[in-house]
Amino acid sequence: MAWYAYCIGEKLSFPELARHRKPIPLESIHGVSGNQVFLYPASDLAVIVSEHNPLETMDQKAGVEHARVIADCFKHSTVLPFRFGTVFESDESLRKSIRSNQRQFLSNIEKLHGKTEMHIKIHVEDCGRDLVGHDGLATVGREYLTQLRETASRQRERQTRARAVAFQMHRTLSPLDEEVSCRLTDSGKMLLDIAHLINRKQVERYQNKFIQMVGQMKECQMQLSGPWPPYHFVHKLTRTHHHAASPAAPVPVAAPVMA
């Protein structure tokens, strides 16, 4: 039987597994294509799966269902999300994957225990648009060199501005860890995507501090979502191990579906 995989959790967080060695239904939770979700016991771990039919469509709706199952399990346990679309072709391939990566999985669960991810999107007015011709093509000669210098200067200004905003967020919100990315939008604004890892008990305090920052940084448009399972930080913990994972033994990595 093929299994569609959502995430790995702590076996102790699901007391119903104490008396079972075979997969048991996770009551009231349905996954991709409405399939019943199961707890699959694997040593000290629980793999959250559902039966898989190769004809099932892996579309955007399935992605939302995938994320919802992970979020439901996150209410009960630290979880290591699998990438959307991860399928184990048989019981044996699932068990083999868990056995070969068990030490890493247990270590990652321990590091992420009691923690959650908060996600911030920040739109910042750009320092200036690049100077190019109306047709998008650079001119020649001295004007061309001037444009190159102007473009490089504005890129440095963007990077400096992005670092300053990210630093201010880090200093005020004091996360345990963070992942930051920055890009320029078509409207000429910078978009910062910031993922913060925090203790789950500190969510309300974090949200209150964020509200204060919104009032202080009026030049920015900021959006907060979470708490989420620690998608980005599972990725950080596992990215150095990807070379050791075979196609039959996928490692949980980030697969967020976020607002």
Name residue, tokens 């269902």. Answer: 65
Domains of the chain and any CATH numbers: 3-113+233-244 (no CATH), 115-228 (3.30.70)
| 181: CB partners within 8 A, 6+ apart | 192, 193
Per the omega criterion (within 30 degrees of 0), is the bond before 175 cis? Answer: no
| 70: CB partners within 8 A, 6+ apart | 6, 7, 48, 79, 81, 229
68 in Cβ contact with 7 (< 8 Å): no
Quote the CA–CA distance of 51 and 192 in Å, as a whole number. 38
Helices and strands (H, E) in the chain, number of each type: 5, 10
Q: Among 124, 120, 111, which residue's Cα sits nearest to residue 195?
A: 120
In terms of DSSP bridges, do strands 177-184 and 87-88 run parallel, antiparallel, or are they unpaired? unpaired
Q: What is the 3-state secondary structure (H, E, C) of 38-68?
A: EEEEECCEEEEEEECCCCCCCCHHHHHHHHH
- What the block records as the tokens of 128 is 């200036």
- Alpha helices by DSSP H, the chain: 60-74, 91-112, 141-173, 203-216, 231-238
pLDDT in tens, the chain (259 residues): 899 999 999 999 988 887 778 899 988 889 998 999 999 998 889 999 999 988 887 889 999 999 999 999 999 899 999 999 999 999 999 999 999 899 999 999 999 999 999 999 998 765 444 434 444 444 556 777 777 777 677 667 777 777 888 888 899 999 999 999 888 777 767 788 999 999 999 999 999 999 998 888 877 889 999 999 999 898 777 664 544 343 334 445 444 444 4
Name residue, tokens 């290591």. Answer: 80
